[in-house]
Amino acid sequence: PERALIERHTAGGVRVRLYDARDKGAAEPYFDRHFEPDETSEIRIYLHGGADRATITGRAERPLTVRVIGGKGDNQIVDSSLVLGRRDTHVYDQGADPHDITYGRDTLFSRRPQLVSDGDTVPPPRDFGSSMLPALRLRYISDLGLVFGAGVSTTRYGFRTWPYAYQTSIWAERGTAPNDTRVAIAADFNRERHRTHLQMLAQASGLDVIRYYGQGNETRRVGHGDFNRVEVSTYSFELPLARRMGPSLLQLGPVLQYSRTGGDPTLFTTATRPYGSGDFGQAGARLRFTLDTRDNAGAPRHGIRLFAGASAFPALWSVNDAFAEAHGEVATYLGVHAPLEPVLALRVGGKKIWGTFPYLESAFLGGFTDLRGFDQQRFAGDASAWGNAELRLRLATLNLLLPANVGIHGLADAGRVWAAGETSTRWHSAYGGGVWFNVEGPSTTISATLAHSDERTGVYVRAGFGF
């Protein structure tokens, strides 16, 4: 057992002395150090097994955080210290008898354990300091032209805040067609020893482009190449509470959205003026649930990924009648230890809308997100369903400057939408394949895919696979 004496000084300094509790009389401490707030921001004293005793005394006018973490023994912790203006003495002990804990008015005492995930205690991988990660991205999208992006993510780590105390990121992109910008700011704030945390997402974008052909599962492609093109300026703000539950994440919070579409008289939406055209604002609530057990996000071989969400918008702002929607998708990966290391990837998804909705909230189908080989948002309705299947094979490992894997994949997609007033039994389909490679592991996978349908042939190059 050990005995800890923590003494706060008026100027903010803290003296820490540690003794072997079995030593009686005037024994010398085996640890004796003075900490100054100009040099030290936090002191953590861990009392491990045994019947330990910690005493905190003194009065300080400047804050220096002191944490005393009890072990599994029958500990005695006495705090009579006072820090003016802040509660900067923290005591943690799960096993101590409440009568063995004495603390002052400014002491924060907790019996909460460290976070537990999937039955195992998970200490924070890092619990102090900060990090910053810049990123650059260059891509080409047919409707946006060349898009250059840059951003930075800042992470601050803290005591028993897993995986971090807070993380903020800002991302900006600039496109050439349209010649506009997208800026997104995100933040995630975790509380000490709590799974519930606060998130924030704000975005302003002039880079959103969709193709709108009207509502229906058998709408025709008419007019010139840009006849169905819709350039949208969007502004959104979300402030959800989130809760981690092992490999899953639940989010719920308010959402504000505002959109503005152009008024070119030669375009389809200008001529038809669907509900939601022009300036349109809406406010409501959004729910999301994510479950991810994949062994690798870039090129998984095992596991599942489930994403489900719902949102509701009452008759406020520009919304004439309340409407709601629910959507979801689930993917699974079946890898086999055999020649060519085959992986069968399967995914299904869909969306359903209730009420009268603005056309930008339609259940869209088409493009690289769900039904390849078709234009983006080729079909729109009040409900959609779709499925994807891919077979991925590794052909060879090349020993270049770094080990690289090269492979091929084949795909089959199918889907349809439903729209009020339309009777259709048609399912749209596409098939194709491509090549992929990675360097030093699946997280660096790059794939190139060709998908053919009865309307067009699409080429998709991206990091990772389609799903």
217 and 332 both lie in a single domain:
yes
99 and 167 both lie in a single domain:
no
Return d(Cα 411, Cα 431) in angstroms, integer: 6
- C-beta of residue 296 within 8 angstroms of C-beta of residue 280: no
101 and 138 both lie in a single domain:
no
71 and 97 both lie in a single domain:
yes
Q: Give residue 79's domain range.
A: 2-113
314 and 201 both lie in a single domain:
yes
Q: Which residues of the chain have pLDDT under 70?
A: 25, 95-99, 105-106, 112-124, 223-225, 266
User: What pLDDT score was predicted for residue 114?
Assistant: 62
User: What pLDDT score was predicted for residue 337?
Assistant: 93
39 and 164 both lie in a single domain:
no
User: What pLDDT score was predicted for residue 435?
Assistant: 97
Return d(Cα 362, Cα 161) in angstroms, integer: 39
User: What pLDDT score was predicted for residue 105?
Assistant: 66
Return d(Cα 352, Cα 325) in angstroms, integer: 6
Q: What is the DSSP string of 263-300?
A: --TTSHHHHH--TT-SEEEEEEEEEEEEEE--S-SSS-
User: What pLDDT score was predicted for residue 440?
Assistant: 78
Q: Is residue 408 part of a domain?
A: yes
Burial of 300 (0-12, 13-18, 19+ CB in 10 A): buried
148 and 22 both lie in a single domain:
no
**Number of compact structural domains in the chain:** 2
178 and 262 both lie in a single domain:
yes
Q: Which two tokens stand for residue 118?
A: 């999937």
User: What pLDDT score was predicted for residue 118?
Assistant: 45
Q: Which two tokens stand for residue 189?
A: 């704030």
- C-beta of residue 381 within 8 angstroms of C-beta of residue 389: no
Residues 6+ apart with CB under 8 A from 170: 151, 152, 183, 184, 185, 186
Return d(Cα 330, Cα 299) in angstroms, integer: 16
Return d(Cα 341, Cα 12) in angstroms, integer: 62
97 and 169 both lie in a single domain:
no
Residues 6+ apart with CB under 8 A from 124: 157, 159, 160, 161, 162, 163, 164
Burial of 54 (0-12, 13-18, 19+ CB in 10 A): buried
Q: Is residue 109 part of a domain?
A: yes
Running DSSP on this structure, what letter comes out for residue 98?
Answer: G
* CATH number of domain containing 247: 2.40.160.50
- Select from 191, 186, 220, 224 the least CA-distant residue to 203: 186
User: What pLDDT score was predicted for residue 107?
Assistant: 76
- Select from 180, 437, 148, 118 the least CA-distant residue to 299: 437
